[in-house]
Amino acid sequence: MSDPAARGNPYAPPRADVAPAHDVSARDETGPFSPAGRFGRLSYVAWSWCLMMVAGLALGAVGAVVTSLFAVNAAAVPVLAGLWNLALLVPAAIFMIRRLHDLNQSGWLWLLVLVPLINVILILVLLFAPGTAGANKHGPPRETPTWEKVVAVAGIALWALGLLAALVLPVLVGLERT
């Protein structure tokens, strides 16, 4: 007897390849500064925290050297800081693109960070929304190394400590004045 699908049977099962589009055992091996690939929440926090710390220290050092060696007017320092922030926009955008890819969204949505009030919502989504389990249209998930987990937890703890200090210190200073 021949195959029913070969005879044109409309009730025969499809003969298509239904294998997954991505290898479910594959891992994202792209570098962190490549917009291709995905970042989980902790990777996003860790790399953003590292970028912020390195950029802040470098800006302080460069600003101190430039103002002392070249006798730059103090009014030029905000201009230098603005140019520095524009340079930092590229890696920050890459990190947001990779995080959006983990959420199975287009990387172009990072441009919403330029829209006031919407940017707050976008950052909260990037920080708290869980990524896609398994492979999605942007590839397989990226393994979060231990050092990224440690840096992310330390960054979150320092942020919380700073927030607590910002809330408590004005109250304590106000109590001392009375």
Query: What are the counts of helices (DSSP H) followed by strands (DSSP E) for the chain?
Result: 4, 0
CA–CA dist 101, 108 (Å, integer): 10
Q: DSSP state, 29?
A: -
Per-residue pLDDT of the chain (178 residues; tens, 9 = 90+): 456 555 677 787 777 666 555 555 567 677 888 899 899 999 999 999 999 999 888 888 877 777 777 766 667 777 877 888 888 999 999 999 999 999 999 999 999 999 999 999 999 999 999 999 889 999 899 889 999 999 999 999 999 999 999 999 888 887 777 6
pLDDT given for residue 74 in this prediction:
67
Spatial distance between the Cα atoms of 104 and 66, rounded to a whole number of angstroms: 44
User: For residue 81, what pLDDT is reported?
Assistant: 77
pTM listed for this prediction: 0.73
**Which residue in 121, 119, 117, 126 sits closest to 95, CA to CA?**
126
Whole-number Å distance between alpha carbons of 103 and 124? 13
pLDDT for 24 equals 54
